[in-house]
Amino acid sequence: MPTEISSPIQGSLVAIVTPMHADGALDLEALKKLIDWHVVSGTAAIVIVGTTGESPTVDVDEHALLIKTTVEHAAGRIKVIAGTGANSTKEAISLAAYAKSVGADASLSVVPYYNKPTQEGLYQHFRAIAEAVDLPVILYNVPGRTVADMATATTLRLAEVPGIVGIKDATGDVARGSDLIRRLRLLEKGSGKRFGIYSGNDDSALALMAMGSDGVISVTANVAPKLMADMCRLALAGDFAGARAVNDTLMPLHFDLFVEANPIPAKWVLARMGRCNAKTRLPMTPLSARFEPVLEAAMRHAALL
């Protein structure tokens, strides 16, 4: 029987970047320093090798090394969620099994991309992963990147599968997200199983927490971890006036960290802060010069400069 978790992780979970040297090699020392920064800043969990971590351009050995390094360096100080998604069910199971073997707390598994599975295919894919590996699975629906879109009805079916413990909703649709939260919470009343629900978009995170979600898997937390942690803490405590005040300082970052494809802007901001190199791997290119003043203005608004 797959492991269940008694309650979901709550707060600001960072979809952490993968630091690289100028030649494109992994910069594990910079990653360790980022992890330390998140620990002291109040981040609730590290999500390693997700989209923001450039999972499409790291090879299998690097993927495994990033998960292992993160778990070992976190050393129990902060939860680690390993990105283990793939558009091959067999590969996703293999990555999840590796994450389990090195001590990750959970996996984040994205809707299969490019091959456009049916809703039944999505159900069977995620159920197979949960049944094969004794590691809690958080689903990840991001149709803007995967094309395939997991329907609410499919999510509700999967929420009843042992071992599937949460979802990152990156549809960007607040009304749809609110309805998903409502329906999942109703399902919980019958099953007694607590299901974690996370916004996958920083700009809608506060709205979804007001509707009862558990937090955000965040890009903005890469560059403003304490502010994101504070905003989530206030919202989860019901202090929405306080949460709005913090979120107002972050809103330009929520938008402008996507002036070009993620994680190009986030890495540029981190480099501007002296935290890591701005290097990304092709087909990601350096930030266009015209966006540098835009990001600097967002940084100033959040008092990062």
Token pair recorded at residue 115: 């091959």
Examine the pLDDT at 287 and tell me if it is beyond 50: yes
175: Cβ contacts below 8 Å, ≥ 6 apart:
none
Enumerate the active-site residues: 140, 168
Mean pLDDT of 1-11: 70
- Kindly report the CATH number that applies to the domain delimited by 11-244: 3.20.20.70
Residue 1: per-residue pLDDT: 44
Residue 40: per-residue pLDDT: 98
Strand partners, 108: 83, 138
Please write the tens of the pLDDT for every residue from 33-63. Answer: 999 999 999 999 999 999 999 999 999 999 9
Please write the tens of the pLDDT for every residue from 75-133. Answer: 999 999 999 999 999 999 999 999 999 999 999 999 999 999 999 999 999 999 999 99
Q: What is the pTM of this model?
A: 0.96
Mean of pLDDT over the chain: 97
73 three-state secondary structure: helix
Burial 242-262 (b: 16+ CB within 10 A, else e): ebeebbebbbbbbebbbbbeb
Examine the pLDDT at 159 and tell me if it is beyond 70: yes
Share of the chain above pLDDT 90, in %: 96
Residue 192: per-residue pLDDT: 86
Residue 112: per-residue pLDDT: 98
Please write the tens of the pLDDT for every residue from 176-218. Answer: 999 999 999 999 998 888 999 999 999 999 999 999 999 999 9
**Binning pLDDT at 50, 70 and 90, where does residue 7 land?**
confident
Closest CA to 199 of 160, 164, 147, 236: 236
Q: Map out the domains of the chain as residue ranges.
A: 11-244
Residue 6: per-residue pLDDT: 61
Q: How far apart are the two ends of the chain, measured CA to CA in Å?
A: 50
